[in-house]
């Protein structure tokens, strides 16, 4: 009792001075919807925190210097070899600092998890249309976070100055050099002269531990504040609308869940770091420009760019005595730039095509946006082709394939497979839409066959659960942009005609083959029909329930789910 009193006094003290009681109450009771896919962003956030903490530990011993020193330490196979201080201190962290190797591995595995989590989070947001108005800005911040993650990761694995680091930096230098006109200047500026120079590691260090983490932290803060302010989107279901949030309050449910999940992510990361090696820098040896190893690859998130580089034919043009290396410029700089920019503007691009200016808080089911889902799968196919191409030598040697055959398969596949996967995905989505429409109009197939008095066999259909109905009915049918008039009623030519016509054509393409939701009249008619069928078949169902009690194939989990009332705010 006295404890509560004391706490109460404390709260009063704060409230008297900062008037936080109302604000705190409102925010602590804020409702968030529940779904496991909503935790991907949390996964990214927690792995970032883990990377930040383990990174601080590493800074205590890492020496970002390219000064040549001679190693004489615990790892005898490198004794007496000249190496940079950066590499030496990484060896020391790995072999002489207590917990150093574990921390290095936590830092590196955590970084890989951070970017992988961001990737699946982005996929969830894309396929459910969570980026639509009003969340376009947050999508953009997310894309920037992912890009910053790439840069931060690249900077990170370049710091130890081992053979793999140097190889990666050499490629980065090559990409800088491929930029026409200013390439050489950029490279000399970045490396303080000829590659590798003796400046770069210390420059990169500042970028890696200060600049980019700072940017990422700022962007994460903005990202989360916007989520908090705009409220979280939710999946469609019974009682869920565009104007409410159905779920549990932040305090205590999500505070506990989120706190617990942090420790689970931490635990999994440390477990992985305890059992699996990542980046064994001692085996690579220090970076020496005339050495190289087979299997020189970047971390997975840079693998698609590596793939683009490996798949690109060896095209060069010589203009006025200067070589333009299309073979590096296109995959190294152009592909990355184009794709990141397309990702940044996608929400606005889609809104322009659909003409959809409404606010969306209810998520799309991927099938109900077939063109978007198709574009998503198409992009993933493209990405996967490049990623596979990035590991072409490992795939060749492990699966006894020809590296040349793989490269050609990628070169051709990158143009052919994405469109094919687009068409297949779109068709699957449309089929699922048809199936949904069918379910609404004819009910759920029970799998029970009934013989009618006149001898005919019919399948008994049962009405859908309220929840399932709500999910299917969440689909919004949007009419494509209208075709513009060439000449208005006053005979004035529309100067925007051509442009508008193009957008309208895109819009019609986007919504082509949409399977419209049944009208209210159709639904009412169907309702009566399904009810009739169900009533007629009730004895059959009852008989089978008796034969096969709950737990058998007839047990319908969705019906049980519908009975549970969700907590509404």
Q: Which of residues 101-130 bind other proteins (CB under 8 A)?
A: 101, 105, 109, 112-113, 116-117, 120
CA atoms of 379 and 356, how far apart (whole Å): 23
Q: Which residues pair with 70 in a beta bridge?
A: 82
Binding mask 535-564 for other proteins (x = CB under 8 A): -----------------------------x
Q: Is residue 61 a contact residue for other proteins (CB under 8 A)?
A: no
Q: Which residue, 76 or 519, has its beta carbon nearer to other proteins?
A: 76
The pair of structure tokens assigned to 341 is 């920019």
Report the residue from 73, 99, 206, 280 that binds other proteins according to the rule CB under 8 A: 280
Q: Which residue, 275 or 553, has its beta carbon nearer to other proteins?
A: 275
CA atoms of 531 and 444, how far apart (whole Å): 11
SS3 478: coil
Rounded to a whole number of angstroms, the minimum distance from the CB of residue 210 to other proteins is 26
CA atoms of 549 and 160, how far apart (whole Å): 63
Segment near other proteins (CB under 8 A); pick from 73-81, 325-333, 345-353, 495-503: 73-81
Angle, CA of 54, 55 and 58, to the nearest 5°: 90
Q: Is residue 163 a contact residue for other proteins (CB under 8 A)?
A: yes
The answer to whether 266 touches 46, Cβ cutoff 8 Å, is yes
Q: Which of residues 383-412 bind other proteins (CB under 8 A)?
A: 390-394, 396-398, 400-405
Q: Is residue 252 a contact residue for other proteins (CB under 8 A)?
A: no
Q: Is residue 164 a contact residue for other proteins (CB under 8 A)?
A: yes
CA atoms of 381 and 425, how far apart (whole Å): 11
Q: Which residue, 408 or 509, has its beta carbon nearer to other proteins?
A: 408
Closest CA to 151 of 84, 107, 211: 211
Report the residue from 7, 210, 217, 288 that binds other proteins according to the rule CB under 8 A: 288
Q: Is residue 314 a contact residue for other proteins (CB under 8 A)?
A: no
Q: Which residue, 162 or 350, has its beta carbon nearer to other proteins?
A: 162
SS (H, E, C) 214-245: HHHHHHHHHHHHHHHHHCCCECCCCCCCCCCC
Rounded to a whole number of angstroms, the minimum distance from the CB of residue 175 to other proteins is 18
Q: Which of residues 204-243 bind other proteins (CB under 8 A)?
A: none
Residue with tokens 């789910």: 561
Q: Is residue 72 a contact residue for other proteins (CB under 8 A)?
A: no
Q: Is residue 57 a contact residue for other proteins (CB under 8 A)?
A: no
CA atoms of 282 and 185, how far apart (whole Å): 34
The answer to whether 124 touches 47, Cβ cutoff 8 Å, is no
Q: Which residues pair with 458 in a beta bridge?
A: 450
Q: Which of residues 23-52 bind other proteins (CB under 8 A)?
A: 34-40, 42-43
Sorted by sequence, the CB contacts under 8 Å of residue 372 that are 6+ apart come out as 126, 127, 129, 350, 364, 366
CA atoms of 392 and 4, how far apart (whole Å): 65
Q: Which residue, 101 or 515, has its beta carbon nearer to other proteins?
A: 101
CA atoms of 279 and 106, how far apart (whole Å): 11
Q: Is the dihedral of CA 221, 222, 224, 229 positive or negative?
A: positive
Q: Is residue 80 a contact residue for other proteins (CB under 8 A)?
A: yes
Q: Is residue 95 a contact residue for other proteins (CB under 8 A)?
A: yes
Rounded to a whole number of angstroms, the minimum distance from the CB of residue 124 to other proteins is 11
> Which backbone phi and psi does 454 adopt, to 5 degrees?
-80, 0
Report the residue from 19, 293, 341, 558 that binds other proteins according to the rule CB under 8 A: 293
Q: Which residue, 69 or 403, has its beta carbon nearer to other proteins?
A: 403
Q: Which of residues 415-474 bind other proteins (CB under 8 A)?
A: none
The answer to whether 242 touches 361, Cβ cutoff 8 Å, is yes
The answer to whether 280 touches 78, Cβ cutoff 8 Å, is no
Rounded to a whole number of angstroms, the minimum distance from the CB of residue 256 to other proteins is 10
Q: Which residue, 293 or 431, has its beta carbon nearer to other proteins?
A: 293
The pair of structure tokens assigned to 320 is 């006025």
The answer to whether 332 touches 174, Cβ cutoff 8 Å, is yes
Q: Is residue 284 a contact residue for other proteins (CB under 8 A)?
A: yes
Rounded to a whole number of angstroms, the minimum distance from the CB of residue 133 to other proteins is 26
Q: Is residue 187 a contact residue for other proteins (CB under 8 A)?
A: no
Q: Which residue, 303 or 376, has its beta carbon nearer to other proteins?
A: 303
> Which backbone phi and psi does 497 adopt, to 5 degrees?
-50, -55
Interface size with other proteins, residues (CB under 8 A): 75
Q: Which residue, 217 or 288, has its beta carbon nearer to other proteins?
A: 288
The number of angstroms, rounded, from the C-alpha of 305 to the middle of its chain's C-alpha atoms is 17
Q: Which residue, 101 or 460, has its beta carbon nearer to other proteins?
A: 101
Rounded to a whole number of angstroms, the minimum distance from the CB of residue 128 to other proteins is 15
Rounded to a whole number of angstroms, the minimum distance from the CB of residue 396 to other proteins is 4
Rounded to a whole number of angstroms, the minimum distance from the CB of residue 272 to other proteins is 6
Q: Which residues pair with 461 in a beta bridge?
A: 445
Q: Which residues of 349-367 are buried (b: 16+ CB within 10 A; e: fewer)?
A: ebbebbbbeeebbbbbbbb
Rounded to a whole number of angstroms, the minimum distance from the CB of residue 108 to other proteins is 8
Rounded to a whole number of angstroms, the minimum distance from the CB of residue 406 to other proteins is 9
Q: Is residue 277 a contact residue for other proteins (CB under 8 A)?
A: yes
């Amino acid at each position: 009792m006295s404890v509560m009193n004391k706490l109460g006094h404390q709260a009063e003290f704060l409230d008297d001075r900062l008037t936080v009681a109302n604000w705190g109450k409102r925010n602590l009771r804020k409702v968030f919807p529940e779904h496991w896919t909503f935790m991907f962003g949390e996964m990214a956030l927690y792995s970032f925190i883990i990377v930040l903490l383990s990174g601080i530990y590493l800074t205590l011993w890492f020496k970002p210097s390219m000064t040549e020193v001679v190693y004489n330490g615990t790892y005898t196979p490198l004794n007496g070899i000249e190496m940079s201080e950066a590499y030496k201190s990484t060896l020391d962290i790995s072999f002489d600092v207590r917990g150093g190797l574990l921390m290095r591995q936590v830092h590196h595995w955590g970084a890989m998890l951070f970017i992988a989590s961001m990737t699946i989070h982005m996929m969830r947001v894309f396929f459910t249309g969570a980026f639509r108005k009003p969340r376009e800005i947050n999508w953009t911040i997310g894309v920037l976070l992912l890009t910053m993650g790439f840069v931060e990761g690249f900077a990170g694995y370049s710091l130890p100055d081992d053979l793999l680091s140097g190889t990666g930096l050499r490629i980065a230098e090559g990409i800088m050099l491929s930029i026409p006109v200013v390439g050489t200047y950029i490279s000399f500026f970045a490396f303080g002269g000829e590659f590798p120079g003796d400046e770069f590691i210390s420059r990169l260090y500042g970028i890696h531990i200060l600049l980019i983490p700072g940017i990422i932290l700022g962007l994460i803060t903005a990202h989360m504040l916007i989520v908090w302010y705009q409220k979280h989107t939710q999946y469609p279901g019974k009682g869920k609308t565009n104007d409410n949030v159905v779920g549990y309050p932040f305090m205590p449910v999500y505070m506990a869940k989120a706190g617990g999940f942090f420790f689970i992510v931490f635990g999994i990361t440390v477990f992985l770091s305890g059992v699996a090696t990542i980046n064994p820098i001692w085996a690579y040896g220090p970076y020496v420009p005339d050495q190289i190893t087979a299997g020189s690859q970047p971390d997975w998130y840079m693998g698609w760019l590596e793939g683009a580089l490996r798949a690109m034919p060896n095209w060069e043009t010589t203009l006025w005595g200067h070589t333009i290396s299309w073979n590096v410029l296109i995959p190294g700089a152009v592909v990355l730039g184009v794709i990141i920019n397309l990702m940044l503007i996608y929400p606005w691009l889609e809104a322009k095509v659909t003409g959809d200016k409404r606010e969306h808080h209810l998520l799309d089911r991927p099938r109900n946006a077939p063109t978007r889902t198709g574009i998503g799968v198409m992009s993933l196919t493209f990405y996967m082709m490049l990623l596979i191409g990035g590991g072409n030598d490992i795939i060749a040697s492990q699966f006894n394939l020809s590296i040349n055959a793989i490269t050609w398969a990628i070169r051709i596949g990158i143009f052919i497979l994405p469109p094919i996967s687009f068409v297949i995905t779109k068709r699957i989505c449309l089929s699922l839409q048809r199936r949904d429409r069918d379910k609404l109009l004819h009910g759920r197939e029970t799998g029970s066959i009934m013989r009618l008095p006149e001898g005919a066999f019919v399948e008994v259909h049962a009405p859908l659960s309220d929840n399932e109905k709500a999910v299917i009915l969440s689909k919004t049918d949007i009419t494509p942009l209208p075709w513009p008039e060439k000449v208005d009623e006053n005979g004035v030519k529309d100067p925007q005609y051509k442009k508008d016509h193009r957008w309208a054509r895109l819009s019609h393409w986007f919504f082509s083959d949409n399977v419209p939701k049944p009208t209210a009249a159709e639904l009412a008619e169907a309702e009566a029909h399904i009810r009739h069928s169900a009533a007629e078949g009730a004895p059959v169902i009852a008989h089978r329930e008796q034969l096969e009690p709950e737990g058998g194939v007839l047990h319908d989990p969705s019906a049980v789910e519908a009975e549970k009332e969700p907590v509404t705010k």
